[in-house]
């Protein structure tokens, strides 16, 4: 017998849109991935997924994690020319209830529930952190996302943020020079200007410019591939990226009081997992002056689960059903 579905869950970013169904026992089924820019709207993707996967057994509710700030049930995507509202989705698909949540808020909800096999410690394995303390998740991909979770005996509450658009803080002369070049090109330099796919490429080109070296690689995937294969300049860009990521993660641990743990996700970090573990990430994470002792006790993990925002959206769906 085909399962009855409790709801539809999704994770929609600037590059990919992922959808799945949640059965009545809370299990995630039938995950599929779509290329966001191949569709004119989110509605087109949802319609195709439901038609080809759910058929006549249409899910009654939906929770969709989206890349950007959700304000009053609406989102203007940061990296897509889409405007989506909960009301439009309700009317178009005749759901009983729809909720849009920030994609990193969904990931933050997922992190406390991920199994050990879905995580890799970056630096010392300090356990999963204090149970009653906040958790923060951050990650680079098309952009840079940040969210937290406030924890209590009554449950977890996701705290969505736009922390990726906070200002970038250089920590040495090389990063000052990178900042100057990005400032000349973009104006204000946010964290996302460096910690993203385009940011990795800009770091690569910036290091080449600073050192007076040629930069023959054409795009971020090439920098990743060649850096991991041993290209010196691309490798230096990866190490600089990892170091900046560690600094930002440590700053966020301080900002959130995240003694429950800091989790690194996104599309880029898992591809350079060994380099993160062996490189400057954890040293830069702990380099916080008078507060270094504070952050040394905070565990840092790389999220290996392929669909963490889907897991978080399913958790939010579960909470909707309890209301």
Residues contributing to the annotated binding site: 10-15
Looking at the predicted structure, is the pLDDT value of residue 322 above 70? no
Task: Look at domain 5-109+307-322 and name its CATH class.
Answer: alpha beta
Q: Is the pLDDT of residue 11 over 80?
A: yes
The reported pLDDT for the residue numbered 200 is: 98
**Which of the residue ranges 6-20, 118-132, 220-234 would you say has the lowest mean pLDDT?**
118-132
Helix (H/G/I), strand (E/B), else coil: 5: strand
Exposure letters 198-232 (e unless 16+ CB within 10 A, then b): ebbbbbbbbbbeeeeeebebeebeebbebbeeebe
Closest CA to 113 of 131, 125, 133, 138: 131
- Extract the annotated binding site for ATP: 10-15
- Give the CATH fold of the 163-303 domain: Hexokinase; domain 1 (3.40.367)
- Judged by DSSP in three states, 58 sits in coil
Q: Where are the domains of the chain?
A: 5-109+307-322, 163-303
Confidence check: pLDDT of 83 > 70: yes
pLDDT score recorded for residue 163: 93
Q: What is the spatial distance between Cα 244 and Cα 242, in angstroms, rounded to a whole number?
A: 6
Which residue pairs, CB below 8 angstroms and at least 24 apart, start in 207-214? 207/174, 207/178, 207/233, 207/236, 207/237, 207/240, 208/233, 209/181, 210/174, 210/177, 210/178
At 105, is the pLDDT very low, low, confident or very high (cuts 50, 70, 90)?
very high
Q: What pLDDT digit, counting tens, does each position of 242-269 carry?
A: 999 999 999 999 999 999 999 999 889 9
- Report how far residue 186's alpha carbon sits from residue 167's, in angstroms, rounded to the nearest whole number: 13
């Amino acid at each position: 017998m085909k399962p009855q579905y409790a709801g539809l869950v999704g994770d929609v970013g600037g590059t990919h849109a992922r959808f799945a169904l949640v059965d009545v026992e809370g299990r995630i089924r039938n995950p599929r991935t779509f290329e966001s820019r191949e569709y004119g709207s989110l509605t087109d993707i949802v319609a195709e997924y439901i038609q080809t996967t759910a058929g006549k057994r249409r899910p009654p509710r939906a929770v969709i994690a989206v890349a950007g700030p959700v304000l009053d049930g609406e989102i203007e995507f940061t990296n897509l020319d889409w405007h989506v509202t909960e009301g439009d989705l309700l009317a178009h698909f005749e759901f009983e209830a729809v909720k849009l949540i920030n994609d990193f808020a969904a990931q933050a909800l997922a992190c406390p529930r991920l199994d050990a096999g879905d995580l890799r410690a970056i630096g010392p394995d300090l356990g999963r952190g204090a149970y009653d303390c906040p958790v923060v998740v951050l990650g680079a991909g098309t952009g840079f996302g940040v969210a937290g979770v406030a924890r209590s005996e009554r449950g977890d509450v996701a705290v969505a943020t736009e922390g990726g658009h906070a200002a970038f803080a250089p920590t040495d002369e090389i990063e000052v020079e990178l900042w100057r070049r990005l400032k000349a090109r973009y104006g204000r330099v946010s964290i996302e200007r460096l910690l993203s796919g385009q940011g990795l490429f800009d770091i690569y080109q910036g290091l080449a410019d600073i050192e007076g070296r040629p930069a023959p690689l054409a795009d971020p995937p090439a920098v990743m591939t060649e850096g991991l294969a041993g290209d010196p300049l691309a490798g230096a860009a990866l190490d600089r990226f990892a170091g900046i990521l560690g600094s930002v993660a440590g700053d966020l641990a301080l900002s959130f009081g995240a003694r429950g743990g800091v989790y690194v996700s996104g599309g880029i970090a898992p591809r350079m997992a060994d380099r993160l573990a062996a490189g400057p990430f954890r040293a830069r994470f702990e380099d916080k002056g008078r507060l270094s002792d504070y952050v040394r006790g905070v565990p840092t993990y790389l999220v290996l689960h392929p669909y963490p925002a889907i897991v978080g959206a399913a958790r939010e769906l579960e909470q909707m059903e309890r209301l």
